[in-house]
């Protein structure tokens, strides 16, 4: 109790009150700096909102709160140093310097993380980009900044970063051998994000594997593909590094390739039919005439004269494509009938010897007793 009274009396000595003015000055400086920064950021935000691009809108909100915090914490740390130095006597303040370094590193990492989060939102809102890829790149950047921050903090604490990295490299090599499949799936997923052979929502199939369906999720270790009978396929990402992947969702057009046979008795009409079918396809609003368009007599079939249609639709939508194809085929039937021709179907012609026909007819017309003989 007596020691507390002595300390209080010491504070009331004239010489002891000199440090209070320094603390008040630092606090006032923090308040003035914060007010100036608040006004400046408000003006900069207003200017950024007037521009067309969205990228300048994310800079000032991202650094506003962290720098405001630094404006208060940095002078406060010096005020604490002054208070401890004048009230606690001979006390080591090296830890306070360490705290100041940690605060600076923490504020920098805080700003970078806020910039990544804001940039991620802008990229998703302003472009037709794959959300999964954007989120993954954001996670990679966040992890990178956090790792850099941790290394900086460890270095400030006096930990040997080079030795730690050496030990981590040896440990990583051991873990790599132990988790080879896990790492191959991870890097397979990374290559999917960078190469982008498909994205969520695409229809993919692999002729090398029994994989076909719609991509539902691209994870770090595996990709989920929903088949057309609604079964989920969980495919390890490393598989896509070793197989051929076809992405029908990215086709430019869909193909119509059909062979149509006319009767042999319509041989004199096939040329006119082909010309009219070709003209119909050229005038069809849903046929892409800039792509290959062929209508030609192709072969003498077993029971028909075959010509084929080879063309492409403008749409790539599966349902719309079948409606266009149906319309084309119905118009082809109409053109064939307009020329008095018809589509062939399998027939068989039986040729009999006239002598055998007369012999069988005579036997059927003979009296019963002659037939019995």
Return d(Cα 314, Cα 293) in angstroms, integer: 13
Tokens of 253: 């057009």
Return d(Cα 52, Cα 54) in angstroms, integer: 7
Return d(Cα 313, Cα 345) in angstroms, integer: 28
Residue 204 · residue 218 · CB < 8 Å: no
E-strand stretches of 266-328 = 294-300, 305-313
Tokens of 292: 């290959």
Among candidate residues 131, 286, 102, 127, the one with its CA nearest the CA of residue 199? 131
User: Residue 179 has what pLDDT?
Assistant: 53
User: Residue 82 has what pLDDT?
Assistant: 66
Beta strands 203-206 and 211-218, pairing class: antiparallel
Return d(Cα 250, Cα 272) in angstroms, integer: 37
pLDDT digits (tens, 9 = 90+) for 61-101: 777 778 777 777 777 776 676 666 666 656 566 666 677 77
Tell me the CB-side half-sphere exposure of residue 43, using CA atoms within 13 A.
5
Q: What are phi and psi of 242, to 5 degrees?
A: -120, 0
Beta strands 222-226 and 254-262, pairing class: unpaired
User: Residue 112 has what pLDDT?
Assistant: 82
Return d(Cα 333, Cα 350) in angstroms, integer: 29
Question: What are 297's strand-pairing partners?
Answer: 307
User: Splitting the chain (373 residues) into consecutive groups of 10 residues, what average pLDDT does each group show?
Assistant: 53 54 71 79 73 70 78 72 64 66 80 80 67 70 78 70 57 53 69 78 84 84 87 86 84 91 91 94 92 92 92 90 94 93 78 65 56 47
pLDDT digits (tens, 9 = 90+) for 135-149: 767 777 777 778 877
CB atoms < 10 A from the CB of 288, how many?
16
- The DSSP letter of residue 287 is B
Return d(Cα 26, Cα 34) in angstroms, integer: 12
pTM score above 0.85: no
Tokens of 227: 């088949």
User: Residue 296 has what pLDDT?
Assistant: 94
User: Residue 34 has what pLDDT?
Assistant: 78
User: Residue 351 has what pLDDT?
Assistant: 66
User: Residue 372 has what pLDDT?
Assistant: 47
Return d(Cα 306, Cα 343) in angstroms, integer: 10
Three-class DSSP category at 267:
helix
User: Residue 366 has what pLDDT?
Assistant: 54
């Amino acid at each position: 109790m007596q020691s507390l009274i002595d300390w209080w009396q010491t504070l009331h000595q004239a010489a002891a009150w000199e440090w209070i003015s320094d603390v008040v000055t630092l606090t006032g400086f923090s308040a003035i700096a914060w007010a100036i920064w608040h006004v400046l950021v408000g003006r900069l935000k207003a200017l950024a909102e007037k521009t067309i691009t969205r990228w300048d809108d994310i800079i000032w909100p991202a650094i506003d709160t962290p720098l405001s915090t630094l404006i208060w914490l940095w002078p406060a740390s010096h005020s604490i140093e002054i208070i401890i130095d004048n009230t606690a006597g001979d006390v080591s303040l090296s830890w306070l310097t360490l705290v100041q370094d940690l605060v600076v590193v923490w504020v920098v990492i805080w700003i970078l993380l806020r910039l990544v989060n804001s940039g991620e939102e802008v990229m998703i809102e302003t472009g037709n980009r794959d959300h999964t890829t954007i989120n993954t790149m954001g996670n990679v950047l966040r992890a990178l900044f956090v790792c850099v921050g941790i290394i900086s903090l460890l270095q400030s604490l006096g930990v040997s970063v080079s030795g730690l990295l050496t030990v981590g490299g040896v440990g990583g090599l051991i873990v790599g051998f132990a988790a080879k499949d896990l790492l191959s799936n991870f890097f397979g997923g990374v290559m999917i994000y960078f190469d982008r052979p498909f994205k969520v929502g695409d229809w993919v199939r692999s002729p090398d594997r029994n994989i076909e369906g719609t991509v539902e999720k691209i994870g770090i270790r595996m990709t989920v593909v929903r088949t057309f009978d609604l079964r989920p396929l969980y495919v390890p990402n490393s598989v896509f590094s070793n197989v051929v992947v076809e992405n029908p969702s990215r086709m430019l057009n869909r193909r119509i390739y059909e062979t149509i046979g006319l009767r042999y008795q319509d041989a004199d009409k096939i040329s006119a039919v082909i010309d009219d079918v070709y003209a119909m396809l050229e005038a069809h609003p849903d046929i892409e005439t800039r792509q290959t368009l062929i209508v030609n007599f192709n072969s003498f079939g077993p029971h028909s004269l075959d010509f084929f249609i080879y063309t492409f639709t403008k749409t790539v939508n599966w349902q719309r494509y079948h409606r266009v194809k149906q319309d084309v085929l119905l118009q082809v039937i109409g053109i064939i009938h307009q020329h008095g021709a018809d589509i062939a179907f399998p027939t068989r012609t039986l040729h009999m010897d006239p002598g055998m026909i007369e012999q069988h007819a005579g036997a059927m017309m003979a009296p019963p007793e002659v037939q019995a003989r």
